Chain A
Amino acid sequence: MRMAPIQGYDLELLKQVLSAVQIPVVVSGGASSNQDLDAAKLIGASGMAAGTMFVFQRPHNAVLISYSKI
């Protein structure tokens, strides 16, 4: 888990958690784009959570709820 600034998931931490536990891992915090979701999935996350990237537009954190295209 890591909070803003939005610069992608903490993939190093994700790797450590994945190697330490045998249960499904959901990564959350920091996603800014579809690429960030892909990167976490590639490493082995079972799920990816994202909020900010669907709500805020940078740099003014303008609220505009939208779903990015896959």
Chain B
Amino acid sequence: MIKEYKEAELKADTAANYGRQYQQCSISVMDTIADPDITFDENGICNYYYEFKCLQLQNVFSGTEGENKLQELIENIKTNGKGKPYDCITGISGGVDSSYLVLKAKEWGLRPLILHFDNGWNTEMAVSNINNIIKKTGFDLYTLVVNWEEFKDLQLSYIKASVVDIEVCTDLAIGGTMQKLAAKYNLKYILSGNNIATEAIMPHTWIFNKADYVNLLNIHNKFGTKSLKTYPLYGFKEQYLYSIGRGIKTVRPLNLLDYNKVHAKKDITEKLEWKDYGGKHYESTFTKFYQAYVLPAKFNIDKRKAHLSTLIFSGQITKEEALEELNKPLYQESELKIDTEYVLKKFGLTSEEFQFYMKQPRIEHSIFGTQKFLTQRFPLLKLLKPFKHFIGR
């Protein structure tokens, strides 16, 4: 039997709500399903609302304040890039946030090197979006094409390990390659499309640390069959060396310009011939399959709840609109059939094997061991932190 996500049944099942009655936030669409840590105040408002407000206060600047901070950042990037082939580096997936950021970088007169990570799961539309963006902006593209046999082995290890965050395989490699490229071209700035307005909140039980290569290696050692010869490993040690040693900074300009998803989509559609593929992170066939089938059916996690709730908190949609969106099926039946066939064929799994893994209980990442922060192992390194901004300049 195929494992399915049935929200109505989960609502009535106390076990699926971690021993509680089903409850949904009075403001957002976050609820007790799949989130053991959610809490509500006396008005039924969930903890994520307050977390969002905190993050917004700390990181988002609008109006003149935002403009000034943005101008200052742009000037710093330009100054740092003088005499270099590029002044910053940014990643592109073909999705809304990264595409919009590249468009803005062009308008601000920046000269980024664009990195794209090809892990073998790109949709045709994502590639066409990236191609249009490169043609329209004239920016140079650098593609990291992962060795598919190695990457397949790594992703399969995560599926067999029954852990929640299979995307660590991709995210860790992107983070590492970005830092390495920045170091290669002696650049200080990495532009990130990551932003508070559209993606601030995410329950920590839905994801895992994206830079923990010890956990990745341990999972792969236990379940993998091939050695990772070319996969770009990147861990806390490198992160520390690049940020402290070379002074490489990741900056998030979308937090400085009243970022709005609808406006951004309109802008990139008009100016970059960007095409919508219908879901956050659906530029990759695997990510779509993972978010719209694996996560809900196996882990009871519907990531749309976090994405839509963030948009409610930032005032970009109403709760009614979010509920309407959530009522739409995660996958069209025919589409799920096609994607399942494609994914299983690419992984070399039979339907029975895959369903076996889908029915295994969740195993926590930490069971496989985690990387200790470098400062935990060498506490004296903490003393260097105040000098972070001076070292490497």
Contact = CB atoms under 8 A, between A and B. Distances in A.
The reply to whether chain A is a binding partner of chain B is: yes
Interface of A: 57-60, 62-66
B140 A59 contact: yes
A62 B127 contact: no
A63 B145 CA distance: 7
A64 B141 CA distance: 9
Contact of A57 (B128, B141, B145): B141
Interface of B: 116, 118, 127-128, 130-131, 134, 140-143, 145
A63 B131 contact: no
Contacts of A62: 116, 140-143
Nearest to A66: B131
B127 A60 contact: no
A63 B148 CA distance: 14
Given A57-B143, A60-B141, A60-B142, A65 B134 contact: no
B131 A64 contact: yes
B113 to A, nearest CB: 8
Nearest to B131: A66
B272 to A, nearest CB: 14
B25 to A, nearest CB: 41
A66 B124 CA distance: 9
Contacts of A64: 116, 118, 127, 130-131, 134, 141, 143
A65 B118 CA distance: 11
19 contacts: A57-B134, A57-B141, A58-B140, A60-B140, A60-B142, A62-B116, A62-B140, A62-B142, A63-B118, A63-B143, A63-B145, A64-B127, A64-B130, A64-B131, A64-B134, A64-B141, A65-B127, A66-B128, A66-B131
